[in-house]
Structure 1
Amino acid sequence: MGDNKNFVLFAALSLAILLGYQYFYAGPKMEAARQEVEEARTSAATEEALAPREVAPEDDTTAEVVENEPVLEEAGSVRIETPELSGSLALRGARFDDLLLTKHKVSKAKGAQNVRLLSPVGAPGAYFVRYGWSASGQNPDAVPNASSIWSADSDTLAPGKPVTLSWNNGEGLEFRMKIEVDKEFMFTITQSVLNSTDATLQIAPYGLISRRGEPDTAGLYILHEGPIGVFNGTLEEKSYSDLEDDGNFEVSSTGGWMGITDKYWMTTLIPAQEAELSRARFVRRATGGDVSYRVDYVENWQTLPAGGTLESSSHFYAGAKIVGTIDHYQEKFGIALFDRTIDWGWFYWLTRPIFKGLHMLFNFTGNYGVAILLMTVILKLALFPLANKSYVSMSHMKKAQPKIKKLQERYKDDRQKLQQEMMALYKKEKINPMAGCLPILVQIPIFFALYKVLYVTIEMRHQPFVGWIQDLSAPDPLTPITLFGALDWNPPAFLAIGVLPILMGISMWLQQKLNPQSAAMDPTQQKIMSFLPLIFTFIMAPFSAGLVLYWTWNNTLSIGQQWVIMRREDARQAAKEKTKA
């Protein structure tokens, strides 16, 4: 049992270190980064130039995209109206640069604004998407650029109501861009160019996402935020700091996708999956205190004969990272690994089934808090055989404590002999010293997988449970130190401990009391074990209420399960001894 307790202590302290990383290190780091970003935004005065135009390629199969997005006056726009999105498409540059998510608020506060995804050039944190053509050996004015003013055949883009933009260079080249949008977050872009000249041209379609400023991120190792893409079937993730430290990322690919992801939102370019991309890039540019990021791709050069037409189709996703929606698009368009836009983590094989189970239970109950409770019960039933063995072994251990103590006193000067006698006793009393470790080994990945689900999936965002818990993805807001909200002040972070974390600590303490104390454990180990419930109460306080709800409910079920099994085993052993007598 001593080895068992040592393992439990090691597992608990390891977990405390991992969870404490967010509270004691990542939290302050995130706040410092946020302040630095705000200072940079305040001091920034102008928008960095970001628009492709013609530059001589390095060889016959690659084209370079150079950016130059000047701030120019308005030239009209096309309204974007869908059940999920609201905004506009600027006719100057054919730029998607104004997009709100109509069903998502920045907070649960009354009167909170809708989440803004895209912002126009010149606005703080400018963020936009643009498509176009790069021409080889042509005057830059031969192809449309960021300053070009397009005309539109309609003033509103909506599901079932596409809009076609057109631009003519006045020298025999006519460019068109048909734009469609569905009821969720997917845009379809069909570009075409008609060559009415008597010359053969080399041109290549491109797409780009430009984002100004250093976005606020959580700064946690468990969540990727920043440029992401799949190239030749391989997932590539680069954080903003990666681009700063390691430089820009560049690759050629067949199909794939690329974009910029936040915790709950993303913009993603999706070229035709059979398209040959001569270059796809993640780019960071810094000018003084101003920083910008760009994700772009250019397809291989294509030959446009005199009197001929070329066409290029692609998609881009702009919106919330809803699991079902992303899965639907992955299957519909055959987009490889598109579901990895959501950071499921190392335990993908476990995290996805847990989410699906929770979502199914939510559809049945209408409450994610209740779904968490039911999921915990299901997991407990699945792990019952392991728990039963563990608690039966604990019952035998509890009964054998006097014999273990005698052996320790008898062989206190001969550790090797003590171990031999202990093993013999374990065998005789049917004690498995590792039985208590099995449930822990299984529950640790389940815990982290559930943590992932609660932390990264938008389905949990702003979801209420009961009473004061109105957002399962946020920490428990009801803290006794403020007399449950009666005192109007913000306590220090380490004192802001909600009711749920306190209940979790109590449940851990009660669970400890049910476990037999090993005679092999020294006083120092016993003291450390006794303080673990208090330590975990502080560590878990800033975590999502849904995760703490799971742990508290799991502990409560374990207490009941352990009490019933150990009581039953004690009664069985007593009956057995009575029969013997």
Structure 2
Amino acid sequence: MKFFFPEKFSPQHPQEGIIMQPVDATVKGQHYAELLVKNFSEEDIVLDDRCPMPPVDVWMVASDGERTPLTTEETALPCVPLLTIPKGETASISLAPWKYSLFSTYGTYDVALPVVRQGPPIETRFTYYEVGTMTQLFRTFISKPLLNGLVFIASMTPGYNLGVAIIILTLIVKLILFIPTQHAMEGQRKMQTVQPKMDALRAKYKDNPQRLQQETMKIWKEHGVNPWQSCLPMLIQFPILIGLFYTIRDGSVLALSQHLLYSPYQHLTWSFGTQFLGLDLMQPNVFIMPPLLMVMQFFQMKLSFAISKKKEEKKGNKKGKEAMSQQEIQQRVMLYGLPVMIGFFALKFPAAVSLYWGVSTVFAIGQQLFVNRRS
């Protein structure tokens, strides 16, 4: 094992002195760098209060290696001085307050800890790089509308509550998507209706894939079935879910989200209220949201499969049950697998994202009940 993983299995030598390194050597544009300072020396590190400057000296490094010192009097967040790093301890230095004043340009930066000592200076380097086209498009069409929508709604709620804003935004999104979601649910119902015929075709033409495809297309056309139609709600939901996750993670501190805010909200003096019904919406919730979302998702899936189950019970014959066996296996995987997956995500995602999914699921349950009654 030592041959394959020399760094992990080789003898560890005790580190000495003071070590500073970035958490990430490359930082995505509009994010912020973070430094770790490890004090392996025999004494505490004592630093001066340098506010409004960061605890480190900063240089912009040109392509030819020339360094230009950077200074500023502006911070996006209040400057908190780092005065002492005890021996044997590790301190974290967030450069978030200087995100727009010192690090607004893409390129390479050197930072040095201003400690007087013998030996080489305590320096490290990191690079800001411009995000790719896909990230820019995602921010433009998903992250920005979501964040600015939350800001607009929260600005009209007591305490600028993020939870209330998420509920209202979720309902607005669901109403906008109501018609395509309704069509998708109708398509799912049609797919369940023709499923026995599909299973019969698979058994009949199991050795003739080309004929099976032709007959399948014929049945779909006859019953007006579009197999992709039923996937539409999930395809729409997940970009919004991912966008909300990044919006909560990167945009909840509005002072650090100027690049995502539209011009009317560039100079807000308030921040989101992140407490909602006893939940900290910025942190994952372990005991309430995961089991609650799993139960709701299970109920929604149960409703979505109710039509085919009723048709099967009406037939009540052994042959019918055998014909539905493949469909039942697929439905069983979805019935139990999707709730477990959602519950796992809820363990990892901030409670704000779980709140969005919960409200969205309640809305979907009501819509599914409406479709089932029509059927």
Same fold (TM over 0.5): yes
Aligned partners of 1:549 and 1:432: how far apart in 2? 32
Opposite residue 345 of structure 2, the aligned amino acid is: I
Aligned to 1:532: 338
Aligned equivalent of 1:282, options 97, 109, 113: 109
2:81 matched to which residue of 1?
119
Is residue 359 of structure 2 the alignment partner of residue 567 of structure 1? no
| CA gap 1:449/1:377 in 2 versus in 1, 3 angstroms | same
Counterpart of 1:269 in structure 2 is: 101
Partner residue, 1:348: 139
Alpha-carbon deviation of 1:446?
1.1
Residues in 1 aligned to 2:342 and 2:119: alpha-carbon distance in whole angstroms: 44
Structure having the larger proportion of residues in helix? 2
Which residue number in structure 2 is paired with residue 454 of structure 1? 248
| Residue type of the alignment partner of 2:101 | L
Query: CA separation of 1:270/1:51 partners in 2, compared to 1, >3 Å: closer, same or farther?
Result: closer
Deviations 1:452-494 (A, max 9, x none): 111122157661112x21x211122xxxxxxxxxxxxxxxxxx
The partner residue of 2:183 within 367, 375, 389 is 389
- In the other structure, the counterpart of 1:502 is 291
TM-aligned CA deviation for residue 360 of structure 1: 1.4
Partner of 2:315: none
* SS across alignment from 2:156: helix
Matches within 5 A, 1:70-469: 101=78, 117-119=79-81, 123-124=84-85, 215=92, 260-261=95-96, 265-266=97-98, 268-269=100-101, 282-284=109-111, 291-292=122-123, 347-349=138-140, 350-366=142-158, 367-456=161-250, 457-458=252-253, 463-466=274-277, 468-469=278-279
AA of the residue aligned to 1:507:
M
Question: Deviation at 1:384?
Answer: 1.6
Q: Tell whether the 8 Å contact from 2:44 to 2:84 is kept in structure 1 after alignment.
A: no
Q: Which structure carries more strand by proportion?
A: 1
Once residues 242 and 288 of structure 2 are traced to their aligned partners in structure 1, the CA distance between those partners, rounded to angstroms, is 22
Q: Matched residue of 1:432: which SS?
A: coil
The answer as to whether partners of 1:404 and 1:519 remain within 8 angstroms in 2 is: no
Number of aligned residues: 282
Amino acid at match of 2:283: A
1:512 maps to which of 301, 321, 329: 301
Identity of aligned residues (%): 25
Query: What does the per-residue CA deviation read over 1:264-291, in whole Å, with 9 as the maximum and x for residues that have no partner?
Result: x4454369x9xxx9x9850145999995
SS in 2 for 1:412: coil
Report how far residue 535 of structure 1 moved: 3.2
* 1-structure distance, mates of 2:147, 2:125: 32
- Whose Rg is larger? 1
5+ long unaligned stretches in structure 1:
1-29, 31-35, 53-57, 68-93, 102-116, 126-212, 217-225, 227-259, 296-336, 477-496, 571-581
Which secondary structure state, in structure 2, belongs to the residue aligned with residue 534 of structure 1?
helix
1:473 and 1:98, CA in 2 relative to 1: closer, same or farther beyond 3 A? closer
**Cα distance in 1 for residues equivalent to 2:145 and 2:84:** 41
1:489-543 deviation per Cα after TM superposition (whole angstroms, max 9, x unaligned): xxxxxxxx32112111112212221234795957775554322312331332132
Contact kept, 8 Å, 1:407 with 1:418, in 2: the verdict is: yes
Shift of 1:566: 3.8
What is the deviation of 1:431? 0.9
Q: Could you say if the C-alpha distance between residues 66 and 552 of structure 1 is closer, same or farther in structure 2, counting changes exceeding 3 Å?
A: closer
Which amino acid in structure 1 is aligned with residue 350 of structure 2?
S
Q: Are residues 1:475 and 2:284 paired?
A: yes
Shift of 1:412: 2.9
Paired letter, 2:229: A
The equivalent of 1:576 in structure 2 is: none
Distance in 2, matches of 1:373 and 1:281, equals 42
* Contact 1:354–1:450, Cα closer than 8 Å, also in 2: yes
Secondary structure of the structure 1 residue equivalent to 2:349: coil
Q: Following the alignment from structure 1 to structure 2, what is the Cα–Cα distance between the partners of residues 553 and 289?
A: 57
Unaligned runs of 5+ in 2: 1-22, 24-34, 48-54, 255-270, 309-322
Greater relative contact order structure (CA < 8 Å, 6+ sep): 2
Structure 1 residues 95 and 45: alpha-carbon distance in aligned structure 2, compared to 1, 3 A threshold: farther
Change (3 A) 1:465 1:357: same
* SS across alignment from 1:269: coil
